[in-house]
Homo-oligomer: A and B are copies of this chain.
Amino acid sequence: MKRTHHNGELRLAHVGEPVTLVGWVSRRRNLGALVFIDLRDRSGIVQITVDEKLAEQVKDVRNEYILQVEGKVVERQDKNPKMATGDIEVYAETITIVNTAETTPMIIADETDALEDTRLKYRYLDLRRAPIQNNLMLRHKVTMLTRNYLSDQGFIEVETPILCKSTPEGARDYLVPSRIFKGKFFALPQSPQIYKQLLMVGGIEKYFQIARCFRDEDLRADRQPEFTQIDIEMSFVDEEQVWTIVEGLMKEIFRNLKQTELPAFPRLTYNECMARYGTDKPDTRFGMEIQNVSGLFQNTEFTVFKNVLEQPKGMVGAIVAAQAADQFSRKEIDKLQEFVKIYGAKALAWLKMANGELSGSVAKVLKPEEKTALIETLELKDNDLIFLIADKAKVAQTALGALRIKLGRQLKLIDESQFNFLWVTNFPMFEYSEEEQRYVAAHHPFTSPNLEDVDKLMSDPENCYSRAYDLVLNGYELLSGSIRIHDQHVQEKVFEAIGMSMEEAREKFGFFIDAFRYGTPPHGGVGIGLERLVMILAGTDNIRDVVAFPKTASASDLMSEAPNTVDEKQLKELHIALEK
């Protein structure tokens, strides 16, 4: 099929050239005897001018018809600076209707007011819209850059199975009944974690895969039941070598797609992160850090603060919304009281600075010297607004951290053009599960503890830290990873610390533990959320904008109407029956 140019690439330099174009009719207008057709292909839109000689041929042509147009590029009289091809038009000499189209149930344009359900049902039409095509192109570029970068660094992409074994830890598995083995099931992988570690046992040394993962969870807006992970694992490395690869990859992607030379990524330990930002995924594009002002209230007579500070791990934390006091009414501040309660804080104290004096909820109960100390410590200026929470450290930090983000957005403190990466390191090794009344692995039980904490695994699990790390970008967790345990004795101790005997462990992780007996190299890696990375690059907060055929929040496909019912015969072959 003849086609000499793509529609969106025509410019003044093409004037005079004969061209043959194909594409969809994006718009048609009649102007006197002339018909103007906007013809769209993947590259963009160009205006076709049809004179009276051909008018008869296009009289039935409507939006989304497919045309093949032979013609000549001419300079436009009335240039359209909003269109990339707005300096020219194509004067049609012959027009062939390649295919017709019925009226579409949604308008195909950059901006659409179609409901998301309509867009999902007619995804093949939504895909014709430039913003969605651009996102898919962006996603393609990210994966191409990733593969070439990692391949150049000596990594091999290895495909791991989709039909796997169901493992008892982690999120809920999608299951696939076996036809050949009656009563048995495969599981779809939540990640290639076990396989990639086995590839390290197998001497592959540097593995990556852009891998499909599956989680049968109750979905949140930013989750899909199937998603894609840039999965990396390396042997004979420590954290620095993993981080160097990841930083190099991110720099490569942002250099090519955002024309930005990223600086070296800063690092914070988990504890520093919690202390300064109240979260392990801080958005560092603005300040307003949490300040621990407990020290100022050692001798306070304000009973709320006093009681909290007498408790172990009690603290008084503060954040300062600089120059924002005049932007918050009493009513708005009361709403923030409700907001922090979501995060478990019992109350939010506040103060405003005006004429060098503090007023506000706790102004009267604090001693003058406490207020002076606050002004000095927080370096307060007139029109600053101060929020204080007194609670257990974790609660105070978390609530102030959430409030910080809320205020940052509301006060437009976030520079949306910035990309702030941050390594968060030294995560706690264990979390105490109130439900199970035992310590559980914070990351997964194959994560290596910090070497200096190995001896504390049993005696002081609370203060054991791990070699797990996250990479945070603009407040999103972009990846998590760790250096894994490669020493069987350490592995046994970790199992013991979470109350699991080696017998039980073998029953649960069997072949995987066996594999570690035959010479396992030190290894570690990461799993990067591809959709999240592309979302950030595309500037969208809707994961469905970066997935070609996304599913709804209830994991259904409105277009194909999957899942659907199947024949009784199919179920019989799989040795299963529907529950009544």
Binding site for B on A (CB under 8 A): 1, 3, 22, 24, 40-42, 64-66, 98-102, 104, 122-128, 133, 136-137, 139-140, 143-144, 147-148, 151, 156-166, 168, 172-188, 194-195, 198-199, 201-206, 212, 214, 216, 225-226, 228, 236-238, 241, 486-487, 510-511, 515, 517-522, 547-549, 551, 554-557, 559-567, 570-579
Cβ 8 A contact of A185, one of B42, B206, B511, B564: B564
Cβ-defined contact, B162 with A203, below 8 A = no
18 contacts between A and B (CB under 8 A): A24-B519, A104-B518, A124-B199, A124-B201, A126-B202, A140-B156, A140-B157, A159-B212, A163-B174, A163-B555, A165-B564, A166-B570, A173-B570, A199-B548, A511-B559, A511-B561, A572-B579, A577-B577
Cβ-defined contact, B517 with A101, below 8 A = yes
With A and B bound together, what is the CA distance between A173 and B177 in angstroms?
11
Given the interface pairs A127-B199, A576-B578, A577-B576, the reply to whether A521 lies near B565 with Cβ below 8 Å is no
With A and B bound together, what is the CA distance between A159 and B229 in angstroms?
12
Residues of B within 8 A of A162 (CB): 162, 188, 212, 214, 226
Residues of B within 8 A of A187 (CB): 562, 566
Residues of B within 8 A of A567 (CB): 168
With A and B bound together, what is the CA distance between A577 and B100 in angstroms?
49
Cβ-defined contact, A549 with B195, below 8 A = yes
Copies of this chain present in the complex amount to 2
**Listed residue (A98, A202, A571) with the most chain B CB atoms within 10 angstroms of its CB:** A202
Residues of B within 8 A of A64 (CB): 518-519
A63–chain B nearest beta-carbon distance, Å: 8
Given the interface pairs A22-B236, A562-B163, A577-B577, the reply to whether A1 lies near B522 with Cβ below 8 Å is yes
Given the interface pairs A147-B144, A518-B101, the reply to whether A236 lies near B158 with Cβ below 8 Å is no
Cβ 8 A contact of A203, one of B42, B65, B566, B573: B42
Residues of B within 8 A of A179 (CB): 172, 216
The chain B residue sitting closest to A174, CB to CB, is B176
With A and B bound together, what is the CA distance between A193 and B401 in angstroms?
48
A103–chain B nearest beta-carbon distance, Å: 9
Cβ-defined contact, A561 with B165, below 8 A = yes
Cβ-defined contact, B102 with A578, below 8 A = no
Cβ-defined contact, B202 with A124, below 8 A = yes
Cβ 8 A contact of A198, one of B65, B123, B137, B175: B123
Cβ-defined contact, A225 with B562, below 8 A = no
